[in-house]
Amino acid sequence: MLEIAAAVLLYVCGFPCIYGVMRLAVRHGLQDVERSRPENPDHAAERARLEERTFARENAFLAGS
């Protein structure tokens, strides 16, 4: 009976643990890809401008619009 309880416990707790590990690995992989991507100055300026405009649109109460 103890073996069955231990197997059920490991089975039930193992899936969330594996899911969390996989999410963490994917997140770190995406960060590595983003960090290794070469970024030219024109692209960086355009990205900053778009992020600023998006921020102002999403938070109009802060931008005074």
User: Per-residue pLDDT tens for 41-61?
Assistant: 677 777 777 777 777 677 777
Mean pLDDT on 10-33 = 87
When the pLDDT of each residue in the chain is averaged and rounded to a whole number, the result is 80
pLDDT at 3: 92
**Residue 44 and residue 52 in contact, taking contact as beta carbons nearer than 8 Å:** no
The structure tokens 């999403």 sit at: 58
